[in-house]
Amino acid sequence: MAKKTKKHIQSYVRYRSVAFIFHDVLSIIIHKITWPPALLRALARRNNEGLMQQTLRSYVRTVRGRGTPDTSIPPIHDEDYESHWGKINYRGKVVLDIGADVGSTADFFLKKGARMVIAVEGSKLCFEQLRANAPLMKNVIPLFIFIENPEQIESLIQKWTCDVVKIDIEGGELNLLKIEDEVFRRVPEFIVELHSNSLFKMMLRKCTRNNYKIMDVNSYDSPLRIVYARRMKEPRG
Judgement on whether residues 54 and 99 belong to the same structural domain of the protein: no
Task: List the domain range (segments joined by +) for residue 201.
Answer: 81-231
Q: Does the residue 70 lie in any domain?
A: no
Shared-domain flag, residues 209 and 159: yes
Q: Are residues 58 and 86 in the same domain?
A: no
In this structure, the answer to whether residues 53 and 85 fall within a common structural domain is no
Q: Is residue 69 situated within a structural domain?
A: no
Whether 7 maps to a domain, the answer reads yes
Domain count, the chain: 2
Peptide bond just before 223 cis, omega within 30 deg: yes
pLDDT at 12: 46
What is the separation of C-alpha 207 from the centre of its chain, rounded to a whole number of angstroms? 18
DSSP 104-145: HHHHHHHHTT-SEEEEEE--HHHHHHHHHHGGGSSSEEEEE-
Report pLDDT digits (tens) over 197-215: 999 999 999 999 999 999 9
Distances (CA, A) of 206 to 21, 169, 182: 27, 18, 11
Q: Are 70 and 108 in contact (CB under 8 A)?
A: yes
Task: Say if 50 falls within a structural domain.
Answer: yes
Between the alpha carbon of residue 112 and those of residues 66, 88, 93, 122, 234, the distances in Å are 18, 9, 10, 24, 28
What pLDDT, on the 0 to 100 scale, is given for residue 125?
A: 86
Question: Which parts of the chain register pLDDT below 70?
Answer: 1-71, 235-237
Based on the fold, state whether residues 109 and 57 are members of the same structural domain. no
Determine whether 139 is exposed, middle or buried from the number of CB atoms within 10 Å of its CB (0-12, 13-18, 19+).
Answer: middle
What is the pLDDT, as a whole number, of residue 58?
A: 53
Same domain, 91 and 159: yes
pLDDT for residue 170: 84
- Parallel, antiparallel, or unpaired for β 164-167 and 189-194? parallel
Q: Is residue 199 part of a domain?
A: yes
CB 195, CB 170: distance < 8 Å = yes
Residues 223 and 131 in one domain: yes
pLDDT of the residue at 2: 45
